[in-house]
Amino acid sequence: MQTITVLGAGYVGVTSAVLFAHAGYKVYLIEPMEKRLEIIKTGKSFFYEAGVDELLSSAIEDGRLVPTNDYSLCIPESDVVFSCVGTPDNPDGSSNLSFVFASAGQTAEHAKEGLIFVQKSTVPVGTGEKVEEVFDSADKDISYVSNPEFLREGTAISDTLYFDRVVAGGANKSSVESVLDVYRQLESKRDDIAKIAGIKTLSQKGQYIATSRNSAELVKVASNAFLALKITFANSIAKLADAADADINEVMNAVGADPRIGRAFLNAGRGYGGGCFPKDVSGLISSGLSYGVDLNIMQEAQNENNSMPGYIIEKLNHEFDGGLVNKRVAVLGLAFKSGTSDVRKSPGVAMANILSERGATVTAYDPKANEEASEDLNDDIRVCESTDEAISVADAVIVATDWPEFLDYSFENYAKSATVFVDAMNRFSPADIKAAGLKYIGVGRS
């Protein structure tokens, strides 16, 4: 049995570590942040993600997964190291690779000969070459494989078990095959693991794709950039639909029916957020410039995306004579998407803060992300414990994240105090909302 160490107990690291442990590997999970490590040691994750806690507690209990902060304990006996450390953006939009190089250096210090170092963190193309230089200067025989991560928060376990593709790229072909073998082993156990996690089994057959190191690095950022472009395109057309009295959902349903285009990621709304798209797009722009390539199209997409929370708030502002000052607005949904507690670059948080800065009295609520959002919300925003509490005296309600709890909530109750309903993800039927006596505001659904 091989021993695996996963570096970084974040969204990706925890998910990968629990799945590798349940696939039959002995797994160490290294996390330097004490608070996170202590929570994980109790068999719980610090974030909400369906199925993760079930897999984490059982793997820790029977000793297959060992959380630690000690490189010297686990790297010497590891055959494969998966690096899942954070790659946040710098203030200028470029990727901050300090964790990537620090973790590679710490690994090199303790690695045995022949170690395979797998980069799952999203890094700019060309990073692997520089990490290899770290290994060379430590005089260690470590082979580097780029294995970009495609999981989505909210469906992380399912995405990893029932993947559409696993990409691995590197100069050492046998190391690339060894990395793909880890996923083959995981695939062979996936239905059993899904049952423990309490998620649906699927019949999906994914592809194993071996590439060069640099191609693998570029696959990841190019994929996210393309999806960001699709979302942004839908939002740009939605603004035109608003102005021209068309319905963006009808438009995109028909546009997406063309198989050359596809319907996915053509939902207009408050724009993308999270720990990936915004920083991956800005990182791509910056890495392009470092090679002398101007990816102007991505800068335009980023600008357009950043405009969406303000665009929606402006639409709400128009509804009130005298504007938003002293208007009571409830923002429902603070996670950047449903199914997660992650609030990084969350459009719901952005809208709540814009409202407070424009003089509105803001209440906010999220079923899973209240605690994580509190730090990012302006001080005058009151975080509530339930939908009922948040909307109890509101003049307007904004559904910023499409949690089932908000989609299934009674429209009549939304209308108890509020007169205006903002559907920031275009998930409601305007007719139903109007029937409940509310003025409906969507994005591109005038």
CA distance 404 to 158: 19
Alpha-carbon torsion 98, 372, 66, 68, what sign? positive
CA 331 to chain centre: 21
CA distance 47 to 377: 18
Q: Which of 17, 23, 26, 36 binds ligand NAD (CB under 6 A)?
A: 36
CA distance 425 to 86: 28
x/- contact string, 64-103, with ligand NAD (CB under 6 A)? --------------------xxxx-----------x--xx
Q: Which of 4, 5, 12, 341 binds ligand NAD (CB under 6 A)?
A: 12
Query: Which of the stretches 8-16, 21-29, 229-237, 319-327 binds ligand NAD when contact is defined by CB under 6 A?
Result: 8-16
Give the residue with the Cβ less far from ligand NAD, 30 or 80.
30
Least distance to ligand NAD from the beta carbon of 158, Å?
Answer: 13
CA-wise closest residue to 157 among 118, 195, 206, 205: 195
213-244 and 248-256 helices, crossing angle to 10°: 140
Minimal CB distance residue for ligand NAD: 10
Number of residues this chain uses to bind ligand NAD (CB under 6 A): 27
Q: Which of 24, 32, 76, 310 binds ligand NAD (CB under 6 A)?
A: 32
CA distance 380 to 358: 12
Active site residue 84: no
CA distance 243 to 236: 11
Give the residue with the Cβ less far from ligand NAD, 28 or 428.
28
CA distances from 441 to 239, 322, 327, 351, 431 (A): 13, 18, 16, 15, 11
Least distance to ligand NAD from the beta carbon of 234, Å?
Answer: 21
Query: Which of the stretches 31-39, 185-193, 302-310, 351-359 binds ligand NAD when contact is defined by CB under 6 A?
Result: 31-39
x/- contact string, 380-419, with ligand NAD (CB under 6 A)? ----------------------------------------
Q: Which of residues 249-278 bind ligand NAD (CB under 6 A)?
A: 275-276
**With 0-12 CB in 10 A as exposed, 13-18 as middle and 19+ as buried, what is 86?**
middle
CA distance 134 to 102: 10
327 binds ligand NAD (CB under 6 A): no
51 binds ligand NAD (CB under 6 A): no
CA-wise closest residue to 422 among 305, 332, 306: 332
Least distance to ligand NAD from the beta carbon of 77, Å?
Answer: 17
Q: Which of 49, 89, 132, 149 binds ligand NAD (CB under 6 A)?
A: 149
Inter-residue contact 381 to 405 (CB < 8 Å): no
Give the residue with the Cβ less far from ligand NAD, 220 or 328.
220
Catalytic residue among 74, 84, 276, 384: 276
Strand pairing of 115-119 and 80-83?
A: parallel
Token pair listed for 70 = 């000690």
Q: What is the DSSP letter of 89?
A: B
Q: Which of residues 110-129 bind ligand NAD (CB under 6 A)?
A: 121-122
**Catalytic positions:** 276
Which residues here bind ligand NAD, judged by CB under 6 A? 7-13, 30-33, 36, 84-87, 99, 102-103, 106, 121-122, 149, 151, 153, 275-276
